[in-house]
Amino acid sequence: MAIAFVSSQNAASSGNNVTSLVLTPTATATTDNLLVVTIGWINDTNDSSASTASAPSGFTQAVQQGRSGNGANQCNGLAIFYKVSDGTETSFTVTLSAARKAVAFYNEFSGTATTTPLDKTNSTDQSSLSNAVNTGTTGTLTEADELLLGAAVWGDDGWSADSWDSSFTEVRSMLQLGGSGTDIALAAAYKIVSVTTAENPQHSVTGTNEDAIAAIATFTAESTGTTFNKTSTDTFTVTDTSSETATFVETVAESLSITDTAAEIATFERAATDPLVLADTSPTTATFNRTLAESFVLTEASSEIAEFIGTLAEALVLVDEADADTSILKALAESFVITDTAAEVTTMARAVIDAVDFSDSSEIATKTIGKILVESLVLVDAASGELAAFNETVIEALSLTDTASSLRTVGDVATELLTLLDTAAISTKTLGKVITEIINFSDTATAEGGTVLDVTKGGGAGSMARMRRLERLQVIQRDDEELLLLLERMIR
């Protein structure tokens, strides 16, 4: 989220000496926004000793510049305090160590860092009379995206106009009238930058030359990630190394190439593009929601979950090395290629595609493919753990090579060609409710159960009789030729 100005309020001492000022915003601050309180004060007529300001409750001092030994109505101090809002603040009280004439401002900004936002500070004590004062240079900024806030307090000044240079935008200026004229004036301005260049803004006034104190504080932007919102471009290349989330919302691009090393989540919503190439090494979740692409290539090495919901693509290539769960739901593609080495579960549900090429070498738990409609499905399954289930799969060609050590189930499969090569060494292989033109089945399992095959084809009373005979058929450890001959005789 980009840095932005939200609101501003002011409070003044009404020409009297006070030891505190209360700032009351018109609305409660927004959680995680940056709150900045600036206060300037001048000497009392009879007291020119040093005095200090204390931060409102929960605030931290960014910078404070004091002065002592000057005459009445001259600058005594300037301070800037800040806080990351918790969303409950309704007023702010800033206090002074001695009674002074004072003016205070409150400013709220969004998009700044929520932890340790302060970067650079500086201040200038200009005791000689002038009509301009600089804040002092910030030095090179730590980050390119930062908020710069400058402030200046003037003693016994009656300006008729004021301004900031260096493209700073004034958010508040106030002249506080005292008993015999203008005793104090305070101004604050901000600038949002996208480069690290040092800044030293100047505040100028029109009127009598007076003494002044100026200060500046800079605050970094929130590093939660990169958000691409409603972006249209011919070429779209992103390298994301943020510590939290990268979000791509309603992105339209001819070419979209993303390298994501975020520490938490990468989310892609409603992204439409011709080619989409993503290398994701984040340690938690990558979510692709309603993605449209002609070419969709994903290398997923995150440690938890990769989820694909409502994906439409002409070509989807997935290389998945996640340690946990990969889910592909409602995926539509002309070409669908998956290499899966996840340690736990891979789920493919309601995928409608022309071609599926699925290579699964995970070693633990369950692989599930449900309600898949494809013209060609090629599955190489080297899992050595538990169960692979294929439910309600309708395809023209199904080729399955299975070397798992436990149970594999293929249920409700309708296909013109089914080729199954099963070298599992343990347990049972089941084919249930398979309607097919040709079945090629080679089972080299050597332990426990056998193979149960239920094949139906044709119609009418004769077909029903054949179906009843086929329903009672159990073929135990037959090779391809024997099985094919038996099937041909039964079907005839």
Block mean pLDDT (10 aa), the chain, length 492: 89 82 90 95 76 96 85 83 94 92 93 93 91 96 93 81 95 73 83 95 89 95 61 59 56 62 58 63 60 66 62 69 64 72 66 73 65 75 63 76 67 75 62 70 52 39 34 35 48 47
Structure tokens at 252: 């339209």
Strands 306-309 and 312-320: unpaired
Structure tokens at 138: 């910030």
pTM score > 0.85 for this model?
no
Q: Which residue type is seen at 398?
A: L
Q: What is the pLDDT of residue 302?
A: 57
Q: Is 186 exposed, middle or buried (0-12, 13-18, 19+ CB in 10 A)?
A: buried
Q: What is the pLDDT of residue 469?
A: 34
CA angle 338, 344, 347 (to 5 degrees): 50
Q: Is 291 exposed, middle or buried (0-12, 13-18, 19+ CB in 10 A)?
A: buried
Residue 416 to residue 315: CA distance in whole angstroms: 24
Taking the CA of residue 416 as centre, how many other CA atoms within 13 Å lie in the half-sphere pointing to its CB? 6
Q: What is the pLDDT of residue 376?
A: 77
CA angle 3, 11, 52 (to 5 degrees): 90
Q: What is the pLDDT of residue 7?
A: 93
* C-alpha distance from residue 323 to each of 283, 285, 302, 365, 404 (Å): 10, 11, 7, 12, 19
Residue 197 CB coordination number (10 Å):
10
Structure tokens at 4: 């932005």
